[in-house]
Amino acid sequence: MNVRKKALAAVAVCALAVPVVAAGGATAKPNYEDALVGRWDLTVTIHIEQPPLLTPLFCDFTADYQLHCETKPGYPDPLEGRGVWTAQKDGQFSFWITHHAHRDANGNPVGSINASHLGKISTNKKKFTTKAHTYIDMNDGSPWQGPVNVDGAAFRI
């Protein structure tokens, strides 16, 4: 084979390879393994009354699947919660969080709010949304309240 034929063959092989590589990159799915790890600005909409209550939170998702949330500074009813999370490779995830239901006259936390969130993180990994059902235990012997529908919308800080 002369040099010219070899050069044409090399160009043809490269021309065939480029669409295969490009197609593989175009259909590759994002990896969500560690997508939630970090700090998030989360607004929770609680559908317990009309209009719904809004709670602005900062939430930290850690690599050991722990979750810690607290209301943003200056919010009139400070709330802190802890929980656990898990994620799927397709961007779906869930977390369980528990925090106090309210504060007594002395400012001590009373009762608990228990929420199970199901969510989806965006393909760019900068936003997520959740839907949840929350149950409230006033810790006074009364039946648990709920389920209360809750929505969440967050962006990465």
Q: 128 has which bridge partners?
A: 121, 154
Question: How many CA within 13 A on the CB side of residue 136?
Answer: 12
Q: 150 has which bridge partners?
A: 46, 132
Q: What is the pLDDT of residues 42-77, one digit of tens each?
A: 999 999 899 999 999 999 999 999 999 999 998 877
Q: What is the pLDDT of residues 102-146, one digit of tens each?
A: 878 888 888 999 999 999 999 999 999 999 999 999 888 999 999
Distance CA 95, CA 128 (A): 13
Task: Give the residue extent of every domain in the chain.
Answer: 1-30, 38-156
Q: What is the pLDDT of residues 32-50, one digit of tens each?
A: 878 999 999 999 999 989 9
Q: Which CATH number fits domain 38-156: 2.30.30, 2.60.40, 3.40.1350, 2.40.160?
A: 2.40.160
Distance CA 49, CA 19 (A): 55
Helices (H), the chain: 3-27
Task: Say if CB 100 and CB 79 are below 8 A apart.
Answer: yes
Contacts of 127 (CB under 8 A, 6+ apart): 121, 153, 154, 155, 156
